[in-house]
Amino acid sequence: MAAGSSPNTSVSGRFLDADKERLILSLPLDGYAKKPLVTLEEAVIPLAKIIDNVESRVWVSMERSKSPADNLEQNESAAIRLYTIEWSEENQSLYNVLNETLRLEDRKKLIPWFSYLKLILTALFKLAWFRGTVWRGVKTDLYNLYEVGSHITWWAFSSCSQSREIAETQFLDSSRASTLFQIECLNGKSIQRHSLYKDENEILLLPCSYFEVVKKVKIIKNGLCIIYLRELIPPFKLLEPPFPINENSSEPMTATNNKNTPILADTTEVYLNHRKITDQDIELVVYAVKGSCPMLKMLDLAGNQLGAIGAQHVADNLMNKMTLTTLNLADNQIGDTGAQCLSNAFLRNQTMIVLILKNNGIGDQGAKSLAEVLQNNKTLTSLDLSANRIGDRGAKHLTDAIEKNNTLTTLNLTQNEITLAGQQRLTDASRINKTLRNLLLVRDQ
């Protein structure tokens, strides 16, 4: 039984336990979601025999959560706050006992925790998803345990900092070998407004977080080992959501199917439309999709904030998939350069059937690049270039391509800058073409 007294002001303990992770595959974390959602006081009743004085910490957490942020309920915010509290003996803190249990292979040991897990994960899933670089340190050398190219799972909650400086100065020991993790995360949670220690600016990674070891470096001078991790979507669901995602979630910024649910390995359609994805975000997204969707057929990235760099990442990493048949990049701003990147990718892609590039700021040069694709491509049947900036010069390139192409069935050029003369030339070319049935040319002028 734990021996706990007054809360400790030390806050570093939960940031320093990465060395306790078992880097082996275990059973998924599930079953807890079937529990009803109860108050925090009720949720910790099964824990009273495991953790001393947990009731007093619950009282403190509830008192400090009377006006919760982020539209959480008081009990939900208090559940997070309880997780952050330090007991006088660190190894008896709730977070420490919980995380040790999450790392056990025997999932039955988690049953007393189910009600608390239901409450805290419900709260965390309601918070906005943090994506970006976070840091985690440990005062030991883990260099040999993390092989570059391998995939590993951290089964417990993982506390991280957004600041490398804080991670190095507060969580590492300059007098001995230490390890610093640089993590590109997809599914972090900022819990600053629900922590007992608000100055930490903590990013919490959920249990069952799945990573690729990208690279590692050892600095001989000071014994520091830096390990670079990239979060991926696992090939099967390791963490059961606490509730149906499409009801209450703030929608994680990860690859999803049905626009809300985390994807599985056999997913063929991925919807990431209108997620405010930028060129800075797209690399993480591409890696997640590429690693988790070997049979990807349709990718919807419409209505985001992608430019030429984003188009380049998609072209280099996803269009070489021999299964991709539909790509929707409508309502971005890839421009002529982005169109060129996609066109180059068609040299490798022989499966694309539908390409949607509506409203992307594509002009005559971009139209020329895509026209070159049409002259040689044998699979593309539908191309949407509506609401762009294509004029008569671009239309001339497309006219020449139409005369040679014998695959395209639909070409949408509405709301461009093509004159009546240019439209007539396109119409004449379509009469020569044996497959083009739908040529859309209505001008918005």
For the chain, list the domains and their CATH numbers.
13-232 (3.90.176.10), 245-440 (3.80.10.10)
Residue 171 pLDDT > 80 = no
Q: Which residues pair with 423 in a beta bridge?
A: none
Q: How far apart are CA 227 and CA 145, in angstroms?
A: 10
Instruction: Give all strands (DSSP E) within 140-233, no chain letters.
Output: 151-154, 158-161, 178-190, 202-205, 209-219, 224-232
pLDDT of residue 25 exceeding 90: no
Distance, CA of 240 to CA of 131 (rounded, Å): 20
Distance CA(366)–CA(372), nearest Å, equals 10
Q: In the predicted model, what is the mean pLDDT of residues 417-434? A: 93
pLDDT grade, residue 173 (50/70/90)?
low
> What's the farthest any 2 CA atoms get from each other in the chain?
87
Per the model's pLDDT, the better-predicted residue between 16 and 253 turns out to be 16
Beta strand residue intervals within 84-140, DSSP E? 129-138
pLDDT recorded at residue 223: 79
Question: How far apart are the C-alpha atoms of 226 and 137, rounded to whole Å?
Answer: 9
CA nearest to 390, candidates 369, 364, 371: 364
Interatomic CA distance for residues 151 and 96, integer angstroms: 25
Model confidence at 256, pLDDT cuts 50, 70, 90, reads: very low
Decide: residue 420, CB within 10 A, 0-12 exposed, 13-18 middle, 19+ buried: exposed
- Mean per-residue pLDDT for 117-133? 90
Interacting residues of 59 by C-beta distance below 8 A, sequence separation 6+: none
- Can you tell me whether residue 190 is helix, strand or coil? strand
Q: How far is CA 346 from CA 105, 398, 400, 404, in A?
A: 47, 16, 18, 17
Q: Is the pLDDT reported for residue 186 higher than 70? A: yes
Identify the sign of the CA torsion 91, 72, 186, 259: positive
Structure-model confidence comparison of residues 105 and 331, the more confident one: 331
CA 50 to chain centroid, in Å, comes to 35
Residue-level pLDDT at 10 = 45
Cα–Cα nearest to 187, from 239, 235, 110, 111: 239
Side-chain half-sphere CA neighbours of 116 within 13 A: 24
The string of pLDDT tens digits covering residues 128-149 is 888 889 999 888 899 999 999 8
pLDDT of residue 6: 38
| CA-atom Rg of the chain in angstroms | 27
Please check whether residue 19 is in contact with residue 142, taking contact to mean a CB–CB distance below 8 angstroms: yes
Mean pLDDT of the chain: 85
**Weakest mean pLDDT among 249-263, 267-281, 405-419:** 249-263
Judge whether residue 157 has pLDDT over 80: yes
Contact 253, 268 (CB under 8 A): no
pLDDT value, residue 195: 83
Pairing type for strands 261-262 and 256-257 reads: antiparallel
- Residue 5 reports pLDDT greater than 50: no
Higher model confidence: residue 127 or residue 233?
127
Segment 335-374, tens digit of pLDDT: 999 999 999 998 888 899 999 999 999 999 999 999 999 9
Q: How much is the pLDDT for 246?
A: 38
Q: Which amino acid is at 188?
A: G
Instruction: For residue 317, give the H/E element and its range.
Output: helix 308-317
> How confident is the model over 429-438, as a mean pLDDT?
91
Burial class from Cβ neighbours inside 10 Å (0-12, 13-18, 19+) for residue 3 reads exposed
The pair of structure tokens assigned to 304 is 């985001």
Q: When comparing pLDDT for 252 and 211, which is higher? A: 211
E strands in 241-300: 256-257, 261-262, 269-271, 298-300
The 3-class SS string of 24-82 reads: CCCCCECCHHHCCCCCHHHHCHHHCCCCCCHHHHHHHHHHCCCCCCCCCCHHHHHHHHH
Has residue 7 got a pLDDT over 60?
Answer: no
The arrangement of strands across the sheet holding 382-384 comes to: 269-271, 298-300, 326-328, 354-356, 382-384, 410-412, 438-440
pLDDT band at 250 (very low <50, low <70, confident <90, very high): very low
Contacts of 206 (CB under 8 A, 6+ apart): 121, 124, 157, 187, 189, 239
pTM: 0.57
Least confident residue range of 9-23, 122-136, 196-210, 411-425: 9-23
Q: How confident is the model at residue 19, as a pLDDT?
A: 76
**Euclidean distance between CA atoms 124 and 77, whole angstroms:** 9
Spatial contact of 276 and 304, defined as CB atoms under 8 Å apart = yes
**Which structure tokens are listed for 29?**
């974390």
Give yes or no for residue 9 having a pLDDT over 50: no
